[in-house]
Amino acid sequence: MSTRRCPRCQSTYPAPARYCVKDGSPLVEVEPAMPFAPVMSSAAPARGGRAGSLRGAIAEDVSLTPEEVDRFATLSGKLLDKRYQVGRRLGEGGMSYVYRAQDTESGRPVAVKILLPRLSRDPAAVERLRREAEIAMRLDHPNVCPILRLGEADRMIYLVMPYLEGEPLSEHETRCGPIPVNEGIPLLVQICRGLRHAHELQIIHRDLKPENIMLVPDGTTDRGEPRHRAVVMDFGLAKERRAGPEVAKLTATGIVLGTPEFMSPEQIRGKPLDGRSDVYALGILAFEMFSGQLPFAGKSAQETMIARLRGSPAKLRDLRPELPAKLETAILRCLALDPAERHQNMDELGYAFESILATGVFGKLFRR
């Protein structure tokens, strides 16, 4: 029986498993041997102990020589494209790995996202990355992370993004547990604002999850407590609402499929999507933010997907009775099976969240 591996956390499963039960990543067939031992990512694990294996992933590309493998795996300290002084590795995803770097022209720190070499020779993967750049370069909002540049050097295709100090929401949840309402609601409102900006440009994110929300330090509250700005990251699965058939072909390649635990029912079924699919995913994210659990039970990613198609979500206040009833109502509406029964846009959802803390500064958070 063949063995399959999660490219993110390196867990292995017997066939016919298709998704990792820890992080929902599509599984890949295990190659017979790797010329190098895996090197674990220095990034903190998230969602079930996720960690990357950069050298191991690169070594799977048998078209590279050992010298080329080593070059891709040891970019720290190198000058990329005569401009970016590469620093430490920040992490790795299903299609790419990310380094911190210094832009020698502007002097500011940036994050450099490089397509894995085994995918850089796949025309569909390359086109997907170019499309990600073209989409994200149009985004301009404090709650969205833009793309600054798309480049190619030394057989590597890369994206340059602003480097954001902070931590992913997933790591914050792992470290601190469920988030207090007075901290979580402003973050959700900010996420709504960022997604509203994307939706106004006819862009749907399609892969909202805690790993794709960065919490950036943003001063302190009146009580002296740390305050964060939520930034929506990684529009790699983003899809223009009016995209043509060539985009549909790209999303069928199997390179990246989204994260099953956060997919809307219509996304699971492969139906046409609009901004209400992001509303659904944000509802799941909010439920997990306040409860530490997902609203649909299942022993695997496949089971949670089936539950979303056939079952009803858990009630937030069954898990945390002290939470406001308005919060439970707002989240349950996000999770309606029929998109017509959900909040119809991010404005509507933002105001629903805002009304939960309608006094003082919270009542003004959702203004443009």
0.85 exceeded by pTM = no
The Cβ of residue 330 has, within 10 Å, a number of other Cβ atoms equal to 24
Q: What is the pLDDT of residue 26?
A: 58
**Tens digit of each residue's pLDDT (9 = 90 or more) over 27-64:** 665 533 222 222 222 233 334 333 333 344 444 444 55
Lowest mean pLDDT among 201-210, 240-249, 301-310: 240-249
pLDDT for 196: 97
Q: Is residue 281 part of a domain?
A: yes
Residues 292-330 have pLDDT tens digits of 999 988 777 778 788 888 878 999 999 999 999 999 999
Q: For 97-133, how does the pLDDT look when each residue is reduced to its tens digit (9 = 90+)?
A: 789 999 999 999 999 988 776 666 778 767 777 776 7
Q: What angle do CA 57, 59, 62 make, to 5 degrees?
A: 120
Q: How far apart are CA 127 and CA 133, in angstroms?
A: 10
Q: CATH number of the domain that 353 lies in? A: 1.10.510.10
**Is the same domain home to 153 and 280?**
no
Question: What would the two tokens of residue 277 be?
Answer: 């699919």
Does residue 142 share a domain with residue 202? no
Query: Looking at 140, 162, 184, which one is the last position of a domain?
Result: 162
Instruction: Tell whether 201 and 321 lie within a shared domain.
Output: yes
Instruction: State residue 71's pLDDT score.
Output: 60
Q: Where are the alpha helices (DSSP H) in 207-324?
A: 245-251, 265-268, 275-291, 301-310, 316-319
Q: How many domains does the chain have?
A: 2
Q: Is 207 a catalytic residue?
A: yes
Q: Is residue 327 part of a domain?
A: yes
Pick from 4, 31, 30, 26: which is nearest to 15 by CA? 4
Residue with tokens 């949840």: 173
Pair 312, 190 in one domain: yes
From the CB of residue 81, how many other CB atoms can be counted at a distance below 10 Å? Answer: 14
**Top mean-pLDDT range of 2-6, 115-119, 281-285, 291-295:** 281-285
Rounded CA gap, 92 and 232, in Å? 18
Last residue of a domain, which of 95, 129, 162? 162
Contacts of 178 (CB under 8 A, 6+ apart): 289, 290, 291, 292, 320
Q: Are 213 and 346 members of one domain? A: yes
Q: Which pLDDT value is given to residue 213?
A: 95
Q: Do 193 and 320 fall into the same domain?
A: yes
The pLDDT of residue 2 is 53
Find the catalytic residue in 23, 103, 207, 234.
207
- Residue 316 has a pLDDT of 96
Residues 171 and 154 in one domain: no
Q: Look-up: residue for tokens 């988030």?
A: 179
Domain that holds residue 185: 167-364
pLDDT at 161 over 80: yes
Domain boundary residue, one of 162, 184, 217: 162
Residue 18 lies in a domain: no
Average pLDDT of the chain to the nearest whole number: 77
In terms of pLDDT, which residue wins out, 103 or 270?
103
> Which of 23-27, 200-204, 236-240, 300-304 reaches the highest mean pLDDT?
200-204
pLDDT (0 to 100) of residue 146: 87
Find the length of the chain.
368
Higher pLDDT, 144 or 254: 144
> 14: cis peptide before it, omega within 30°?
no
d(CA 269, CA 267): 5
Is 21 domain-assigned? no
Q: Do 206 and 311 sit in the same domain of this protein?
A: yes
Domain identity same for 189 and 89: no
Q: How far is CA 116 from CA 64, 155, 255, in A?
A: 12, 10, 11
Q: Could you tell me if 231 and 270 lie in one domain?
A: yes
Percent over 70 (pLDDT), the chain:
68
Which SS3 state, helix, strand or coil, does residue 59 take? helix
CATH number of the CATH domain containing 77: 3.30.200.20
Contacts within 8 Å (CB) and 24+ apart, 333-341: 333/283, 334/279, 334/280, 334/282, 334/283, 334/284, 334/286, 335/280, 335/283, 335/284, 335/287, 335/295, 336/280, 337/265, 337/308, 337/309, 339/264, 339/266, 339/274, 339/276, 339/277, 339/280
> In the structure encoding, which two tokens stand for residue 86, read together?
């590469």
pLDDT of residue 37: 23
**276 plus 342 within the same structural domain:** yes
Same domain, 266 and 357: yes
* Phi, psi (rounded to 5 degrees) for 15: -65, 145
